[in-house]
Amino acid sequence: MLVNIMMFLWALLIIPFLVGMYVKQDKTIIKIMLYTRIIYLIVLVGDIMLILRNFKTNPVIDTLSFFATVIAISFINISYQRKIQGNFKPYLIWITIISIIISIFCLFLI
């Protein structure tokens, strides 16, 4: 049940991220970035709950899942900061989406 909620939250996180990457105004980017941060805080809490529940059975996969989540969130923040600074490169979107897909794949392994 919690894994399904986490996958829904990841899908919900991708939408404002992609919208934020294609918006031109800085005020709108900051608003969307706040929505994204709220969602990924919920994702982090859910991932910690999954780790606490499943760590005894498979600690390596849980640790890998947590690190993949942190890396995906880091790429989301890096993308937003580069977008605001005007130093944005399109390959950052692809790297971020790939890291999110890896994090979702780690959820399947749990």
Q: What is the pLDDT of residues 46-77, one digit of tens each?
A: 999 988 998 888 899 999 999 999 999 999 99
Mean pLDDT, range 21-32, rounded to an integer:
89
Q: Which amino acid is at 20?
A: G
- Residue 102 CB neighbour total at 10 angstroms: 15
pLDDT at 15: 92
- How many folded domains does the chain comprise? 1
The residues, ordered by sequence, that sit 6+ positions from 85 with a Cβ below 8 Å of its Cβ are: none
The residues, ordered by sequence, that sit 6+ positions from 35 with a Cβ below 8 Å of its Cβ are: 16
| Domain ranges, residue 103 | 2-109
pLDDT in tens, 27-49: 898 899 999 999 999 999 999 99
Indicate if the pLDDT at residue 95 is higher than 90.
yes
CA 3 – CA 7 distance, rounded (Å): 6
